[in-house]
Amino acid sequence: MSRNHWLVKQEPETYSWNTFVQDGRTAWTGVRNYQARNFLRAMKEGDAVLFYHSVREKRVVGIATVVRAAYVDPSASEGDWSAVDLSPVEPLVEPVPLDEIKREATLQDILLVRHSRLSVMPLTPAQYRRILSLGKTRGLASNED
């Protein structure tokens, strides 16, 4: 079975990779952008997710997996918003900074470069594997991707 690949962004001051690892699982709530919401709704259990520290750090720091597909966001008091549950898998051996991603010709089309404000975005299998390679991490890469 083929899985999809995603990247989610979070300010480390708000919710860091280390906190995520300590928690062991989190509900990815609070997304209030329609395009990002639609990406959340497309996530399936078992999908691979890269965890990106935004704002000050601007780097991919870890790998997570979707452990619960989209459901109604419990943090939304109004509107049609969704959440998913994520679980950490492992940190990248070497975090991959945004500057390095921008220099990589094979990554010029990712939304992280083209639409930097989006907090949830898809990656192609090749983009996902390239970021893992830059981070010197095997991770959830597989032959099926």
pLDDT tens per residue across span 106-116: 999 999 998 88
Residue 19 pLDDT greater than 90, yes or no: yes
In 1-126, beta strands by DSSP E: 5-10, 26-28, 48-53, 59-72, 82-97, 120-123
Count CA within 13 A, CB hemisphere, residue 134.
24
- Mean pLDDT score of the chain: 94
Residue 58 lies in a domain: yes
Amino acid at 46: G
Looking at the domain assignment, is residue 144 inside a domain?
A: no
Phi, psi (degrees; rounded to nearest 5) at 66: -80, 125
Please measure the distance between the N-terminal and C-terminal CA atoms of the chain and give it in whole angstroms: 9
Residue 50 pLDDT exceeds 80: yes
pLDDT band at 1 (very low <50, low <70, confident <90, very high): low
Q: Is the pLDDT of residue 2 over 80?
A: no
Instruction: Please report whether residue 142 resides in a domain.
Output: no
pLDDT, residue 115, reads 86
Cβ(129)–Cβ(141) below 8 Å:
yes
In this predicted structure, the answer to whether residue 30 has a pLDDT above a threshold of 70 is: yes
Task: Give the residue numbers spanning the domain of 47.
Answer: 5-134
> Is residue 143 domain-resident?
no
Percentage of the chain modeled with pLDDT above 70: 95
CATH code where residue 106 lies: 3.10.590.10
* Domain-embedded: residue 42: yes
Q: Give the count of domains, the chain.
A: 1
Reply yes or no on whether the pLDDT at 120 is more than 80.
yes
Is pLDDT of 143 > 50?
Answer: no
